[in-house]
Amino acid sequence: MGFRDRGLDGPMFRMREKLIAIGDDFWIEDDGGHRLFKVNGKAARLRETFILEDADGNELCKIQEKKLSVRDKMTIEHGATTATVHKRLLGIRDHYVIEVDDGEDLKAHGNIVDHEYEIERDGDTVAKVSKKWFRVRDTYGVQLAEGQDIPLVLAITVCVDAMARG
């Protein structure tokens, strides 16, 4: 199946839906089925913490829930960059704002629960998320535009998935 007709020219990744539970690990694969990133669900006492690692186990991003019960904010630490993902309700659709410290903010909008949405920066689509690209249950794809910060965008999709179920 040709992923390039999605309108974006960057890499494509395969994600698992409802992939995060405390203590769970899962792999993010490329469109060739190669395991490139691992999400390590560390069990923490008061908040959920997930670590996005490369295939060799090196930490790329730390993702933390910022409230005890209501999932309305998660933070991503990626090197010197910190991003905060906020959930906003606009009408009947979920809308997420990603505030990037010392960088340009992003937003995720569309049908979040059904994994049919886009991530934009300043009006430009940086990633598309869709379940329609796969026939496998509980699987969805993330297609990035060329030149994006891959670990950061994947961490954003992990946050959105976790928060959409909250």
Question: In the chain, what percentage of residues exceed pLDDT 70?
Answer: 79
Q: Is 135 helix (H, G, I), strand (E, B) or coil?
A: coil
Concatenated DSSP letters for 61-95? EEEEE-SSS---EEEEEETTEEEEEEEEEETTEEE
pLDDT score for 93 = 66
Share of the chain above pLDDT 90, in %: 40
pLDDT of residue 166 exceeding 80: no
DSSP code at position 131: S
Least-confidence region, from 4-13, 48-57, 63-72, 84-93 = 63-72
Sorted by sequence, the CB contacts under 8 Å of residue 136 that are 6+ apart come out as none
Tell me the average pLDDT across 37-47: 66
Number of H helices, E strands in the chain: 1, 12
Residue 149: Cβ within 10 Å count: 19
Q: How far apart are CA 135 and CA 98, in angstroms?
A: 30
Q: Is the pLDDT of residue 108 over 90?
A: yes
pLDDT at 157 > cutoff 50: yes
Instruction: Read off the pLDDT band of 159 (50, 70, 90).
Output: confident
| Strand, helix or coil for residue 46 | coil
**3-164 topology per CATH:** Porin (2.40.160)
Judge whether residue 106 has pLDDT over 80. Answer: yes
Please give the pLDDT value at position 59.
93
Between 89 and 52, the more confident residue is 52
**pLDDT over 60 at 20, yes or no:** no
